[in-house]
Structure 1
Amino acid sequence: MITTLDKNTALVLIDLQYMVVQLPLVHPVAPVLENSAKLLAAFRKAQLPVVIVNVNPIDSAASKTRKDAQRHSAGGALPDNALDIVPEIKVLDEDIRITKETWNAFYNTQLHAELQKKGITGIVLAGIATAIGVEGTARGANELGYNIAFASDAMTDLVEDTHVNAFKYIFPRLGEVGTTDEIIEKLGR
């Protein structure tokens, strides 16, 4: 349940790019994008910062480590539009743009510095995948002391169990969970 949002809160949208939205997701992507776009419009109306994150894992150190899990790899090259944010998410010049190489949008990027310049103390997280980019970024945000709100209806994952696990066990330990509408309602207060 969302009890409050900090006065200086930013919206952070994770990996709403062509390469990611076309993966075999456990929930339909259209409502995730629709709710993310609603959050985007509400944050802009409230004149609060928006962060648009995409991922480019090709040639990152993390992409070269041994793993048991099946890799979702483009074989070293990505299609031309793979990193582009989908058109449902209208990106503006004033948005903070972050390209990450790993799950955590704070790791080895300028995200924390950009948020600190704006006096941001809280973030609202949404995007894909729940237990990868969103959870990885949430863990980094928690370590840096941000108050976090999770938009439960603006996320999905590749695996139902990991999606449920994040919402049941991880997110409540890192912040507060609510719907897009609940978050937007708190923006006005």
Structure 2
Amino acid sequence: MSRFAFAPSAALVLKNLQKSVLHVPAVTVSGESLAKSLTLAAAFRSAGLPVVLVEVAWSPDNGDLLQDLSVLPGFAHFPPLDLYGFPAQLRVTDNDVIITKRRWGTFAGTELDLKLRRRGIKQIAFAGTYTSIGVESTGRSAWEHNYQMTFVSDSTTDTDSDAHYFTRTGWITTAGETIGLVGGCLALRRRHDAGIYSGV
């Protein structure tokens, strides 16, 4: 079990769990990672903690696609519209925070930091795709923005096994451990609301 612990200032950030990404072959079966992410999202929602869903999208004229030839090639043009959006299994709610990104990381050029800080968030649990690209890039930026982090190892995946297991920049937990931490956070919040604990 990780020594990482959640306070009532934690959020779950699910990276790129959308149809345009999940159909790409990965180290772990995308369905398995998605299923664990669904369980994580349900646990965070039940605890009253924010769930942030990150999607990648570009304008139809391709004007905001990155044109940097020094990095791995990505989409050369606007993907078909039917590949956008989150799968129905994700059960997006009105309380979920939706962030649209156009780069590997999710802090650059988005309102992610603003939306987290306005909700008093200080800790982030990361899951989704891809471990060595979007997840790690966002994690490194989160560290620079002074957030505490944990990476849910069995709820992330990558197209490269070495990159998947090598890259992460915070505490490493499993989905089961994370849900247990969220449960502890919920109990702490209930004690706080009841006036039993006031140290958070």
CA deviation after TM superposition for structure 1 residue 91, in Å: 0.8
Q: Which runs of 5+ in 2 are unaligned?
A: 185-200
Work out the number of aligned pairs and report it: 180
**One-letter identity of the residue aligned with 1:64:** Q
CA deviation after TM superposition for structure 1 residue 68, in Å: 5.9
Q: Percent identity, aligned pairs only?
A: 34
Instruction: Tell me which residue corresponds to 1:186.
Output: 181
Q: Which runs of 5+ in 1 are unaligned?
A: none
**One-letter identity of the residue aligned with 1:146:** Y
Q: 1:56 and 2:51 equivalent?
A: no
Q: Residues 81-120 of structure 1: matches in 2 within 5 Å?
A: 81-120=82-121
**One-letter identity of the residue aligned with 1:138:** G
Q: Is the deviation greater in 7-16 or in 87-96? A: 87-96
Aligned partner of residue 88 in structure 2, secondary structure: coil
Structure 1 runs of 4+ with >4 Å offset: none
Aligned partner of residue 64 in structure 1, secondary structure: coil
Q: 1:78 and 2:79 equivalent?
A: yes
Q: Is the 8 A contact 1:11 1:124 kept in 2?
A: yes
Instruction: Tell me which residue corresponds to 1:147.
Output: 148
CA deviation after TM superposition for structure 1 residue 87, in Å: 1.7
Q: 1:131 and 2:135 equivalent?
A: no
**One-letter identity of the residue aligned with 1:185:** G
Bigger Rg over Cα: 2
CA deviation after TM superposition for structure 1 residue 25, in Å: 1.0
CA deviation after TM superposition for structure 1 residue 102, in Å: 0.6
Aligned partner of residue 115 in structure 1, secondary structure: helix
Question: TM-score, length-normalised on structure 1?
Answer: 0.90
Aligned partner of residue 88 in structure 1, secondary structure: helix
CA deviation after TM superposition for structure 1 residue 2, in Å: 4.5
